[in-house]
Amino acid sequence: MALREMSLTADHVARVHRVVPDAGPTAGVQQQTDADYADWVAKIIASHPAPGQPIQLFAYGSLIWNPEIDHRGERRGVARGWHRAFCLRMHRFRGTPEQPGLMMALDRGGQCQGMLFELPPEDPFRLLDRLFRREFTVKPINSMPRWLVVETQDGPVRALGFVMNRASPYYTGRLPLSEVAHVLARACGHWGSGAEYVLNTVTQLEAHGIRDGSLWRLQGLLAEEIDRLAAP
């Protein structure tokens, strides 16, 4: 499959990048504790649908291009009943309290094609602890770990994924792509900008032969919005 030429480029990302210090956790917001993470890890391992078998991880966004954990083997799969959506408001990481950003999550409905990674079986507690500390930090939890059914060319697989908790106060619901582009063209945090996240995600999805129509439209709208901001 030939790679398509994106409208959003590294030049767009450079235009919106700025150095933002990490202000730390938002005052008044409860954070997950070591005990909380240990409890989440224990729950997921205890509910593993195939005890004794390696854990399969479903990656749909930044886990594809920045997994930060050891894994072996990868293959494409489709999680039905879930879709990518920028529906998580961010006041840290890729946004600030003054200029909140949006993060992509798996929300209900539709389908999502992503990648399956097999985690090494030697120390699942350590791997999941590191993964969970990356994926969620506050209470109530934003990105909920759960077992998903992922369809592959070899049949269905039960895989660990992270889905949007609609009870979270940071859940935005469904937003028009034009509004998402407006936010991402301006938001930046100590992890980088929303534009950088979109560029990396769409680039890697394309490289893995995954085409997401909504994300492709968003990258075009985002490029247009950044160009508009730079216009005299």
| Residue 218 φ/ψ, nearest 5 degrees | -65, -45
Which is nearest to 152 in space by CA: 44, 50, 64, 80? 80
What is the 3 state secondary structure string of 31-59? ECCHHHHHHHHHHHHHCCCCCCCCCEEEE
CA dihedral 126, 33, 29, 90 (to 10 degrees): 0
Which residue out of 118, 135, 151, 224 is catalytically annotated? Answer: 135
Q: Is 108 helix (H, G, I), strand (E, B) or coil?
A: strand
The answer to whether residue 135 is catalytic is yes
Contacts of 192 (CB under 8 A, 6+ apart): 17, 94
Residues identified as active-site:
135
